[in-house]
Amino acid sequence: MNLLFGVHNHQPVGNFEDVFKKANQECYRPFVNILYDYPRIKSTFHFSGSLIDWLLKNDPGLLEKVKEMLKRGQVEILTGGYYEPVLPVIPERDRIGQIDMLSSFIRDYFEYEPKGIWIGERVWEPHLVKTLARCGIKYTLLDEAHFRSGGMAGKKMTGYYITEEEGATLAVFPISERLRYTVPFSLPSEPIAYLKKLADEKGDSSCTIVDDGEKFGLWPGTHKWVYQERWLEKFFQLLIKNQDWLKTQTIYEHMQTHKPQGLFYLPCASYEKMDAWSGGFFRNFFSKYPEANNLHKRMLYVSDMLGTPPAMTEKEENKEARKHLYMGQCNCPYWHGVFGGIYLGHLRHVAYKNLITAQALMEKKRKPPWIETEAFDFDKDGRDELIVRNSLLSVFIAPEQGGAILELDYMPGGVNLTDGMSRRPEAYHEKIKSGLKKPFSLRRKKIISIHDLLKSKEKGLKNFLIYDSYRRLSLLDHFFYQNLTLEDFKNCRYEELGDFINAPYSVEQEKGEQALSIILRREGKINYHGEEIPLVLSKELSLNARDAQVLIKYNLENLSGRPIGIVFGVEFNISLESQAPVNNLRCAGEGGQRTYSLKEDVKGRAIERLSLQDATCGIETAFYFDKRPSLWAHPLETVSASESGFERNYQQTVILPCWPLRLERAWQTNIRIVVS
């Protein structure tokens, strides 16, 4: 029996520096050191480009050690998308570009031609075969779940198979599910016993286990288990002890000495847990999380602007823009499972920063001032959106979704100011009230897999399980009774009197030479004490070519002929880098100017100006009001799973200027947003 053993090591683009350091100190470095001391154990490595970039600056000796093992024939290196994208959901030109980028690094640094590829999150779609063949890839590794989805029985999942697309072929090695959940989560003897059973049944075949390197030291409880309790060394020693029947090989070495098991076609799939989280198909994350869809379609928008790299030398600004595009394709903020994923604001912010920066670099050649608008189905839901752009701002407007602002980008800072999340139910929320498991089981002398670990990082998380009935966009039009409180609004305990949230608005454009206006209008109704009151709401957004500001003119018209006592509120969701003390909210109104922490709920009266200071990014977003409103503001936090347990995450600050009205016929107000 031949064991094809290896690890995939990755940290997301934009992850915190201390996470990189901890991962290297507790996981990557000790693993490489121990493997280096066992030259008879052959292995396969994959390092994502974002991790390589960090290692080159902070621990180049680790890569040099891997290079030495490569030269002595102990290891091989897999290529992949440089910044670990989910390959099927990015354009083919970008797939090829990202793979070529990592393969070129491997050739230049390791002096090795990679033969195999690591597929990010093992998200497979059959058309990938052609892309990989074009990149010179000979093989990849996918889970047993992929093969089961195609109808293969478990007993056949050894060795490797050939798959095909339009005549292009690729070898595929099934990753053993049994070994994925026992290495290193059981006693070292358990996977050896399983391999012995396979050897007795299969003879000279192979079993593959290549999985996340972070399980060897970074996942909860694993550093002590793998290194202090010497799991990895014991496992390697058992492999050597049983070498009369069990050998380790690199994957390509095995391909050169063993024939494939046959031809097999794999359906769209990922590993079993991922398929459960996504509902069976990775792209479902884009329908489950509109925020993920927005990020994905923003990425496609920028990729289309860049187009296909020319065969000859590309302009320097386009090279830099393409690198930022690739960084913005890092998969982590596009989905959510046991890891934080899309709920981790810092990963979303970095993805948007790279995509916006890529666009800004391409637009540098345009001499300001300029302004333009385009209407098309940006988010691919069958309804057109509007994009208004100048050199400083990009405003994405959704007439069919309450006439809301989908995205407000400040181009010089590379910041999406409205990069927030809505609070929604997750299946694991039901587990928060149940018993929590510790990462180490004394009774069974093994650690619990991260997929089974239930741990709360703070008490009382169930009190924060609040769910939104609408998507938290900006420029949302609310109507309430006058007895509503901030606490009720924050916790979604109120009656929405109007039918304007998520509803379609008509749209018109007025264009000037250096300015333009978007007029959104809806003939709706107010449910006022059981009576339907017809009401027309229009809002006009005006931008000019020179400034980073948006002027919003509101007009309400009561068509009923009778006065109504209501509160009109306009909701904005502004996402700051963090709730760090240097970031704050400032109000100027009745009682003078006050400064609030982003952790506070805010109530103000007769507000003339409010601003959100994001000192982390060096950006201020200010709101000015001509008819001074009352103000409610509060942090919006979600409860989500991460590798270290259930946690609360700040997503954005909700801003609600609101005007108590006795609305007889018509009423107008202006809001001016200035970004600097």
Q: What's 445's DSSP letter?
A: T
Strands ordered across the beta sheet of 564-574: 476-480, 564-574, 645-663, 630-642, 602-604
Q: Is 487 annotated in the active site? A: no
Residue position matching structure tokens 């903020």: 333
Rg (CA), the chain: 28
Cβ within 8 Å of residue 352, ≥6 positions away: 295, 298, 328, 409, 414, 415, 416, 419
Contact status, residue 482 vs residue 567, Cβ threshold 8 Å: yes
**Sequence-ordered list of residues with C-beta below 8 angstroms from that of 603, at least 6 positions apart, any chain:** 486, 630, 631, 632
Q: Cβ neighbours of residue 83 under 8 Å, at least 6 residues apart?
A: 13, 48, 49, 50, 98, 326, 327, 329, 330
Instruction: Report angle CA 148, 152, 157 to the nearest 5 degrees.
Output: 90
Q: How far apart are CA 403 and CA 279, in angstroms?
A: 30
Q: Which of 92, 190, 212, 253 is catalytic?
A: 212
Q: Strands of 404-410's sheet, edge to edge?
A: 371-376, 385-390, 393-398, 404-410, 415-416
User: Pick the catalytic residue: 26, 59, 76, 121?
Assistant: 121
Q: Does residue 320 carry a catalytic annotation?
A: no
Where do runs of H (alpha helix) occur along 269-344?
272-278, 285-288, 290-306, 316-327
Angstrom CA distances, 240 to 88, 199, 204, 237, 254, stand at 39, 16, 17, 5, 18
Cβ atoms of 317 and 362 closer than 8 Å:
yes
Residue of 2, 654, 95, 640 whose CA lies nearest to 347: 640
Q: Residue 456 carries which DSSP code? A: B
Residue 471 phi/psi, 5° resolution?
A: -75, 135
Mapping DSSP to helix (H, G, I), strand (E, B) and coil, where does residue 166 land?
coil
- Nearest-angstrom CA–CA distance, 62 and 59: 6
CA distance 338 to 647: 12
Burial class of residue 257, CB neighbours in 10 A (0-12, 13-18, 19+): exposed
3-state secondary structure 236-271: HHHHHHCCCCCEECCHHHHHHHCCCCCECCCCCECC
Smallest Cα–Cα separation from 589: which of 611, 570, 574, 610? 610
**Looking at the annotation, which residues are catalytic?**
121, 212
